[in-house]
Amino acid sequence: MRIALFITCFNDTMFPDTGKSVVRVLRRLGHEVEFPYGQTCCGQMHFNTGHRREARPIARGFAETFAPYDAVVTPSGSCAAMVREGHPVLAEGARGKGADRFRAQVAEVAPRVYEFSEFLVDVLGVTDVGAYFPHSVTYHPTCHSARVLGVGDRPVRLLRAVRGLQLAPLPRAAECCGFGGTFALKNAETSTEIGRDKAAAVLESGAQVLCAGDNSCLMHIGGLLSRQHAGVKIMHLADILAATGPHPDLPAFPSGDLAYPVPDPVHPGPLPPDAAAAAAARHEFPFEKGAAR
Amino acid sequence: MTAVRPEPTFLGIPPFPEAAHTALADLHLRANLRKATHTIRERRAAVVGEMPDWEKLRRAGAAIKDDVLAHLPRYLEQLEASVTAAGGTVHWARDAAEANAIVVGIAREHGTDEVVKIKSMATQEIGLNNALAAAGIRAWETDLAELIVQLGHDLPSHILVPAVHKNRAEIRDIFAAGMGDAGRPAPDGLTDRPADLAEAARQHLREKFLRAKVAVSGGNFAVAETGTVCVVESEGNGRMCLTLPDVLITVLGIEKLLPTWQDMEVFLQLLPRSSTGERMNPYTSMWTGVTEGDGPRSFHLVLLDNGRTDVLADPVGRQALRCIRCSACLNVCPVYERTGGQAYGSVYPGPIGAVLTPQLRGINQHDVDPQTASLPYASTLCGACREACPVDIDIPAILTRQRAQLADLGRGPVHRGEQAAMKAAAGAFAEPWRLGLAQHAASFSRHFIGRKGKIGKVPRLLAGPLAGWTASRDAPAAPPESFRSWFKRTDGGLTEGDPATAGSPADGGLEEL
């Protein structure tokens, strides 16, 4: 299987580490991923803002670039949704020379484009990717991944299989974060107000890390949290699945003990007496005990 | 002829972002909206969730409406024939002015200076109350929420609950101040207890029901096969209007048709569950023409086009005509929840309003006004509306289509700067090497705009439209190396060992987070 990575223009420029994480996870699972250098963008910003004339050649370029591959994996729910739902609309409206080829290519390529969690669960058939991340994490299902792609619980199943990770439920998770692409600029105030409620829900979850499958939504929610100095880290799903140790910026979280209350991520207090004893018992090495005897 | 005070209209409401600015600052409004939308959202979710065949019902609803829209002339003529055969009179109105003239004419014919009204979106759309006012005829709204809006000289903000932006303390004040001018005053010492408010409204409205000779209604459905018109409501005030006066005038959008009586089966399941979150609404009134000794003695059906056939011409936009005005899309919309309905500047607010209003007003024309042109952008495209829609209207698809229509016309909030920026971006995306160049520029910018890897507040003068972002949100500064440069330099991380060693994940993002 020839796998291509569609990094997306936004991750390419702003969040390259998410791309590295995708490469790392796939390599760990025994798959080499190719990076076609001809790729640029899916055209979503143009399409969603109404500039279809400009979006069309971008979509055409996408189809040309990724036609030779069996599967295209991308760490963005909304870009995958754009390719699968938007490109057929653009191809349909194409006229003139090459329009038929464009339509045929889109029909071929678009169904083979997978959002990262879909690719892992559906194509590779794995949920345990061998990650270790001893922190509390809450997951925001981004609208395009949930409603257009229908990724369902795939990301959550992947997170549950991460060793050490404690998943904190996000209140009112299905609600939009208010990013909406150029909506965030054209209706900046409304976007902000929607986002503030999402940020409040993130704080309510008590998690140290907010995770999602789209860095764009994360940049919006994270930007609000950062301005509030809320002390919550934002991380793409791929970055968590790539992790094999505690994050250097975060206090390690006692793993596997569901009785342990989720601490205030800003000022993690001392362990409650019972939990402290339990944690101490867990960390005692049997052979040391033996040696003492 | 006594002068009748005209009601406020949406004329002069500014474009959406400006109207939203005002609404967002109204904390009272925000609290009322939040409570109302969340309550009804949960109720709807519960009664929809208990239906094992909900998806099938939705698809059936969409299919029936599509059939109606595809064969509209045939069904309309069939309806006209069956209503006429049952003793009713059918009128055809091309636009608001024609429809209003017909209603005013009928009211005058019967020598009345007042009509009672059932809650109706169609009559609001055509501004009937003010047309009647201009003719010296008072229109009394009898739906409780509609009464609150009318007595408060206010504008509606929701399709189903037009006074959703008011809480009960405000309603008490409106009743106490306004009922006296319109008829029976509110009792002294009126409290804001729901039962007291309902009783005050009951007493106030009763004398109007008993006195009125002419009633005006809209209609939820009209069955072409039988000529039956149906009104679905919760309060019973509609039933009063439909049965007590001698004359009944129903103004009906031409898309409200159903082919057969049996089709009601689908819609009477879809509508109450989607709109009020009830399994069945309390009052469902159906009538076929006139019946000797029962109900009104004459029945007039005004079939209203008012832009609908233009909507029908658009292959994507026409699905908006499936709408059964349940308002489920409003209740789940993240934008509506924050701004309320008045910011949309139309009797049709929320997601369905954002797709219907511009189409009815003619978005595809060069003289489209800035307020109308701002509506298709009043959405995050989150798709919650489509998911909730009982007739599966793909609202996001219509929104992006309308944005495309506006961009093609060079109208609306598509300013010159945006056109230029989009063209520039498209140019960068045309060739990978150009994107690389742009990335180098973005990356270089971090040396003078980003501090500790993030960008804080930037003055509007410097940031232009991007100040909208940084006013409330930090932005990450671009990292030193793009993904493509890294992949090329390290052969996908192979030459530097594990790519994770290139840096901890999310480095170069929002560093403080």
Q: What is the pLDDT of residue B444?
A: 78
Query: ∠ at Cα B53 (B48, B58), nearest 5°?
Result: 75
Q: How far apart are CA B148 and CA B142, in angstroms?
A: 9
In a domain, B45, yes or no: yes
Q: How far apart are CA B440 and CA B93, in angstroms?
A: 61
- In chain B, which residues have their Cβ closer than 8 Å to the Cβ of A58? 426, 429-430
* Residue linked to tokens 């101490």: A280
Q: Do B383 and A147 touch (CB under 8 A)?
A: yes
Beta strand A136-139 with A209-212 is: parallel
Q: What is the pLDDT of residue A196?
A: 97
Q: Which residues in chain A (167-226) have CB-CB distances under 8 A to chain B? A: 174-176, 178-195, 215, 219-220, 222-226
Quick one: which of A248, A254, A251, A252 has its CA closest to A274?
Answer: A254
Q: Provide the terminal-to-terminal Cα distance of chain A, rounded to the nearest Å.
A: 57
* Residue linked to tokens 């239906």: B51
Q: Which of B334, B384, B505 sits opposite A21 (nearest CB)?
A: B505
Hey, is the C-beta of A64 within 8 angstroms of any chain B C-beta?
Answer: no
DSSP secondary-structure letter at B189?
A: T
Looking at the domain that runs over A136-277, which CATH code has it been given? 3.40.50
Q: How far apart are CA B505 and CA B513, in angstroms?
A: 12
In a domain, B171, yes or no: yes
Positive or negative, the CA dihedral B363, B369, B371, B377 is positive
Q: How far apart are CA A65 and CA A67, in angstroms?
A: 6
Q: Which of B335, B384, B487 sits opposite A35 (nearest CB)?
A: B487
Cβ count near B5 (within 10 Å): 9
Q: Do A19 and B483 touch (CB under 8 A)?
A: yes
For residue B454, give the H/E element and its range.
strand B454-455
Cβ neighbours of residue B508 under 8 Å, at least 6 residues apart?
Answer: A15, A16, A17, B453, B476, B477, B478, B479, B480
| Residue-range definition of the domain harbouring residue B439 | 435-502
Q: Do A176 and B414 touch (CB under 8 A)?
A: no
Mean pLDDT on A100-121 = 97
In a domain, B466, yes or no: yes
A256 pLDDT higher than 80 = no
pLDDT in tens, B161-212: 999 899 999 999 999 999 999 999 999 999 999 999 999 999 999 999 999 9
Q: Which residue of A has its CA nearest to B343?
A: A190
Q: What is the pLDDT of residue A267?
A: 44
ipTM value for the complex:
0.91
Q: Which residue of A has its CA nearest to B24?
A: A190
For chain A, give the DSSP string: --EEE---HHHHHH-HHHHHHHHHHHHHTT--EE--TT-----HHHHHHT-HHHHHHHHHHHHHHHTT-SEEEES-HHHHHIIIIIHHHHHHT--STTHHHHHHHHHHHGGGEEEHHHIIIIIS--S----B--SEEEE---HIIIIII--TTHHHHHHHTSBT-EEPPPTTTTS--S-TTTHHHHTHHHHHHHHHHHHHHHHHHT-SEEEES-HHHHHHHHHHHHHTT---EEEEHHHHHT-BS--TTS-----S-TTSPPPPSSS--PPPHHHHHHHHHHH--HHHHHHH-
CATH number of the domain enclosing B101:
3.40.50.10420
Tokens of residue B401, six digits: 């289509």
Tell me which of B308, B330, B365 is where a domain ends: B308
Q: Which residue of A has its CA nearest to B377?
A: A183
Positive or negative, the CA dihedral B274, B277, B278, B283 is negative
Per-residue pLDDT 10s for chain B (513 aa) are 568 889 999 988 999 999 999 999 999 999 999 999 999 999 999 999 999 999 999 999 999 999 999 999 999 999 999 999 999 999 999 999 999 999 999 999 999 999 999 999 999 999 999 999 999 999 999 999 999 999 999 999 999 999 989 999 999 999 999 999 999 999 999 999 999 999 999 999 999 999 999 999 999 999 999 999 999 999 999 999 999 999 999 999 999 999 999 999 999 999 999 999 999 999 999 999 999 999 999 999 999 999 999 999 999 999 999 999 999 999 999 999 999 999 999 999 999 999 999 999 988 777 889 999 999 999 999 999 999 999 999 999 999 999 999 998 876 666 567 778 888 888 888 888 888 888 888 887 777 666 667 788 777 666 666 778 888 899 888 899 999 999 999 999 998 765 444 444 444 334 333
Beta strand B298-304 with B89-93 is: parallel
Hey, is the C-beta of B500 within 8 angstroms of any chain A C-beta?
Answer: yes
Q: What total of structural domains would you count in chain B?
A: 2
Beta strand A33-34 with B247-253 is: unpaired
Q: Which residues in chain B (405-464) have CB-CB distances under 8 A to chain A? A: 405-408, 413-414, 418-419, 422-423, 425-426, 428-432, 435, 438-439, 442-443, 454, 456
A155 pLDDT higher than 60 = yes
Q: Do A194 and B334 touch (CB under 8 A)?
A: yes
For residue B239, give the H/E element and its range.
helix B237-243
Q: Do A143 and B403 touch (CB under 8 A)?
A: no
Tokens of residue A75, six digits: 């760490």
Q: Which residue of B has its CA nearest to A46?
A: B422
A286 pLDDT higher than 50 = no
- In chain B, which residues have their Cβ closer than 8 Å to the Cβ of A28? none
Write down the mean pLDDT value for chain A.
89
CB B389 within 8 A of CB B321: no
CA distance A289 to chain B (A): 36
Cβ neighbours of residue A178 under 8 Å, at least 6 residues apart?
Answer: A184, A190, A191, A192, A193, A194, A195, A198, A220, B334, B380
φ/ψ of residue B229, rounded to 5: -110, 145
Q: Which residues in chain B (313-342) have CB-CB distances under 8 A to chain A? A: 334-335, 337-339
Q: Do B482 and A12 touch (CB under 8 A)?
A: yes
Tell me which of B308, B330, B348 is where a domain ends: B308
CB B222 within 8 A of CB B230: yes
Q: Do B473 and A226 touch (CB under 8 A)?
A: yes
pLDDT in tens, B432-447: 888 888 888 888 777 7
- In chain B, which residues have their Cβ closer than 8 Å to the Cβ of A46? 422, 425-426
Write down the mean pLDDT value for chain B.
91
Tokens of residue A129, six digits: 């990717």
Tell me which of B288, B308, B328 is where a domain ends: B308
Q: Provide the terminal-to-terminal Cα distance of chain B, rounded to the nearest Å.
A: 70
Q: How is chain A split into domains, by residue range?
A: 3-123, 136-277
Determine the 3-state secondary structure of B481 from DSSP: coil
CB A154 within 8 A of CB A121: yes
Q: For residue B32, give the amino acid letter.
A: N
CA distance A48 to chain B (A): 6
Quick one: which of B390, B371, B383, B163 has its CA closest to B271?
Answer: B390
Cβ count near B28 (within 10 Å): 12
Helix axes B54-70 and B72-85, enclosed angle (nearest 10): 90
In DSSP terms, B372 is beta-bridged to none
Quick one: which of B509, B59, B178, B79 has its CA closest to A15?
Answer: B509
- In chain A, which residues have their Cβ closer than 8 Å to the Cβ of B392? none
Hey, is the C-beta of A229 within 8 angstroms of any chain B C-beta?
Answer: yes
Q: How far apart are CA A163 and CA A258, in angstroms?
A: 13
- In chain B, which residues have their Cβ closer than 8 Å to the Cβ of A24? 493, 498-500
Hey, is the C-beta of B370 within 8 angstroms of any chain A C-beta?
Answer: no
Positive or negative, the CA dihedral B178, B180, B185, B189 is positive
Q: How far apart are CA A26 and CA A32, in angstroms?
A: 7
CA distance B158 to chain A (A): 18
